[in-house]
Amino acid sequence: DWTIHARLRQLVVRVPRADAHLVVHLLVDISRSMGVGVPSKLDVAARLAEALACVALARRDVAGLAVFDRGVRTLAAPRSGGWQARRLTTLLDALTPGASSAATPALAEYAASVRGPGLAVVISDFLQPDGPAAGLRALEHAGLTPVIVQVVASEEQQLRIDDEIELVDSEDPVRTRLVDAAATGEYHAQMRRLTQALREYAAGLGTPYVLVETSAGFHTMLQRAVEAGLLERRG
């Protein structure tokens, strides 16, 4: 800085400093299966995403949003500031269930459009035929750190069949299946395997895994996020 040198006869070099901000990518599943439950899994996912966005932006970090089913349907690029908070809130309040689930191509599509580092918080029921691993790996390859938030409906957790009934696929109403009480055990076993796979994936990365039930109140939902290390309690 030659003006300071001329005044003080001292050599001073101005060095710019970049403030480090965490980039939070909120990825919310809006597939048809997210419409299940009272309140629906999608309503719960939107409330949690809104809370995470508000926390990130209040900390002067950067937050963005993408909603997906078979592909990315709505995209709000990561930004900071109060205007971004209002924009994300408006988008999340307007969410409705979309098409059937295909998380792998959707997450891969998003990963191809961004570059890390950053935190990719995937909020989903993860109920898709191809499983969640490939889509999460695509986010990793883009330099993002995946965080898994699994949303389950209380009705799914407490499913019980006492007699023979016909089930209709929530994502494809044409597909039906006649089941009896014996199917209940296999259903719950598959749900446990899915949850365990998600836990293990997150543990392998050393990142948070959060399980949220639709029947849980908002305070409980935030408490789960704190316990998992996704949020920090202060005061």
pLDDT of residue 77 exceeding 70: yes
Distance CA 201, CA 133 (A): 8
In the block, residue with structure tokens 């592909």: 71
Contact 107, 148 (CB under 8 A): no
Mean pLDDT along residues 41-50: 96
What is the structure's pLDDT at 18?
44
Mean pLDDT along residues 186-198: 89
Segments in the chain forming alpha helices (H): 2-8, 41-58, 82-93, 103-113, 133-141, 154-157, 182-205, 218-228
pLDDT of residue 183 exceeding 80: no
- The tokens describing 52, both together, are 């995470």
What is the structure's pLDDT at 4?
63
What is the structure's pLDDT at 171?
64
pLDDT digits 0-9 by tens, 131-177: 788 999 999 999 999 999 999 998 888 777 667 666 666 666 667 76
What is the structure's pLDDT at 5?
59
What is the structure's pLDDT at 151?
97
Cα end-to-end span (Å), the chain: 43
